[in-house]
């Protein structure tokens, strides 16, 4: 059942009151003001749920979500979105996002406006789609996960005093020139291969954030994940690779290999640093990655490819399209 704005019975806004300062704090105020205006116009019950500790957003979403006539909205960055989405897996309450992070990868992929008022409007009235997620080492991810250089960057970025695109580029550049590729033994849907790689990314959505598109063909509702293996390449080629990444054409680069899969086993020497949706965590020398089809429901904007495909071909079009390739 998909509830329209007039059918909604309630909306829960989950946010971290300690996060954000300056412009982001002002943006949060604008989002809350807009939500209160819509509450009066539509007669919808609205409740603000501030988080107090790590994992609290998951607990709140699990407690207050579940009903298709209730929407649960994450106001914050990728960490808040991940936690909130984890609490909605298996339920009927759709996930809404008011993006307040430094990258906002899932929000961008889903065509959600970056402006707080417009994002709140969409949370009330946007199209609801079924959405897959992935698991890596037992952790859920909704945008991307990975090992190698991008995970190392995630760890370094988490320890920086400032966030934002400039700091992310600085951390990436500094690590790139001293990072050494690793060897991976990868079994994908029963077939084993060995690769030397700078990084291995597992994508449910198309981008890391900031429109850095690592998996141009990825869709969040097709029942597949995309594995993107970036092989060692000459240092002088970094500019070309970065340009292709930002223009959505990285899959055309000879140093990049893309594989669609549903289950993979990855083995490497020693333990590894990993990330889920940009958040760092420790992985062992052997871990599994798998897709969880239609794990939850999410609100998407009209610009999202998934919404455009549903409007053209009906539910399941993306899955059929990928399966035939």
Which residues have C-beta within 8 Å of that of residue 201, sequence separation ≥ 6? 144, 145, 146, 150, 214, 215, 227, 228, 230
Q: What percentage of the chain carries pLDDT values higher than 90?
A: 66
Mean pLDDT of the region 204-230: 96
Query: Do 120 and 31 meet the contact criterion of CB atoms below 8 Å apart?
Result: yes
Over 80: is that where the pLDDT of 157 sits? no
Query: Do 160 and 100 meet the contact criterion of CB atoms below 8 Å apart?
Result: no
pLDDT of residue 164: 64
Neighbours of 55 (CB within 10 A): 11
Domain range summary for the chain, segments of one domain joined by +:
5-132+295-315, 139-292
Q: Say how many Å lie between the first and final Cα of the chain, rounded.
A: 31
Classify domain 139-292 at the CATH topology level. Answer: Tumour Suppressor Smad4 (2.60.200)
Weakest mean pLDDT among 11-25, 82-96, 259-273, 301-315: 11-25
- Average predicted confidence (pLDDT) for the chain: 88
pLDDT of residue 243: 94
Which residues have C-beta within 8 Å of that of residue 293, sequence separation ≥ 6? 132, 223
CATH 1.10.260.40 fits 5-132+295-315, yes or no: no
Instruction: State pTM to two decimals.
Output: 0.90
Confidence of residue 9 (pLDDT cuts 50, 70, 90): confident
Rounded Cα distance between 17 and 13, Å, is 12
pLDDT of residue 323: 30
Over 60: is that where the pLDDT of 44 sits? yes
Query: Do 73 and 38 meet the contact criterion of CB atoms below 8 Å apart?
Result: no
Weakest mean pLDDT among 80-89, 93-102, 105-114, 146-155: 146-155
* Strand partners of residue 194: 185
Over 80: is that where the pLDDT of 319 sits? no
Confidence of residue 21 (pLDDT cuts 50, 70, 90): low
pLDDT of residue 6: 62
Rounded Cα distance between 248 and 114, Å, is 20
pLDDT in tens, 260-308: 999 999 999 887 899 999 999 999 999 999 999 999 999 999 889 999 8
Confidence of residue 136 (pLDDT cuts 50, 70, 90): very high
Closest CA to 153 of 267, 240, 278: 278
Mean pLDDT of the region 114-124: 94
Rounded Cα distance between 230 and 197, Å, is 6
Query: Do 72 and 94 meet the contact criterion of CB atoms below 8 Å apart?
Result: yes
Mean pLDDT of the region 169-174: 75
């Amino acid at each position: 059942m998909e509830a329209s704005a007039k059918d909604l019975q309630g909306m829960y806004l989950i946010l971290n009151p300690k996060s954000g300062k300056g412009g982001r704090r002002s943006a949060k105020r604008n989002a809350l003001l807009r939500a209160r205006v819509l509450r009066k116009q539509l007669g919808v019950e609205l409740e603000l749920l501030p988080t107090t500790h790590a994992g609290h957003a998951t607990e709140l979403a699990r407690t207050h979500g579940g009903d298709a006539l209730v929407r649960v909205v994450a106001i914050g960055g990728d960490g808040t979105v991940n936690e909130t989405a984890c609490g909605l897996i298996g339920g009927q309450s759709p996930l809404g996002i008011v993006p307040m992070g430094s990258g906002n990868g899932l929000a961008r992929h889903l065509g959600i406006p970056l402006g707080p008022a417009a994002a709140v409007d969409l949370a009330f009235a946007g199209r609801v789609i079924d959405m897959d997620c992935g698991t890596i080492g037992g952790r859920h991810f909704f945008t991307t996960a990975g090992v190698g250089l991008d995970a190392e960057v995630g760890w370094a970025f988490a320890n920086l005093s400032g966030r934002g695109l400039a700091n992310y580029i600085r951390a990436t550049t500094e690590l790139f020139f001293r990072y050494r590729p690793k060897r991976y033994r990868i079994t994908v849907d029963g077939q084993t291969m060995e690769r030397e790689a700078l990084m291995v990314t597992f994508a449910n959505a198309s981008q890391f954030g900031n429109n850095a598109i690592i998996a141009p063909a990825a869709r969040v509702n097709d029942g597949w994940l995309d594995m993107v293996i970036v092989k060692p390449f000459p240092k002088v080629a970094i500019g070309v690779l970065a340009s292709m990444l930002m223009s959505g054409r990285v899959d055309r680069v000879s140093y990049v290999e893309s594989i669609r899969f549903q289950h993979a086993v990855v083995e490497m020497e020693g333990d590894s640093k990993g990330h889920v949706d940009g958040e760092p965590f420790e992985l062992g020398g052997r871990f599994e990655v798998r897709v969880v089809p239609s794990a939850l429901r999410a609100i998407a904007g009209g610009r999202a490819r998934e919404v455009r495909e549903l409007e053209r071909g009906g539910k399941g079009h993306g899955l059929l399209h990928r399966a035939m390739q």
